Amino acid sequence: MAGEFDFSRHAFRRAIERNISEQEIRTAGAQAEVIEDYPQDKYSPSALLLGFTTAGRPLHFQVSFGESDLTKIITIYEPDPKEWIENRKRR
């Protein structure tokens, strides 16, 4: 997700609610890896990415690869350890 990105309204609200800063998003997004791929998603191909902030905070980004050159962040959150093994695999 290196480079420019765009937020859905949902992702923008969630980032504020979850106290995720733009710098954390840029840092985690710059080295994020795809952990789930959704090529047949309803509106356009998408994926779930995992990245880490400078402080080591894990962040999941669901992103859409639509018509724009920008990667669109659909939602963003810190993975719940009750639902994820090492932030990469669903329990």
The tally of CA atoms less than 13 A away on the side-chain side of residue 23 is 2
Is residue 16 in some structural domain? Answer: yes
Is residue 78 in some structural domain? Answer: no
Is residue 82 in some structural domain? Answer: no
Is residue 88 in some structural domain? Answer: no
pLDDT in tens, 7-60: 889 898 989 999 999 899 989 999 999 999 999 988 889 999 999 999 999 999
84 touches 34 (CB < 8 A): no
CA distance 52 to 38: 21
Is residue 85 in some structural domain? Answer: no
pLDDT tier for residue 3 given thresholds of 50, 70 and 90? low
Domain encompassing residue 58: 5-73
Q: How many domains does the chain have?
A: 1
The DSSP-derived string for 3-53 is S-EEE-HHHHHHHHHTT--HHHHHHHHHT-EEEEEETT-SSS-EEEEEEE-
Note the pLDDT of residue 85.
96
Is residue 80 in some structural domain? Answer: no
5 touches 22 (CB < 8 A): no
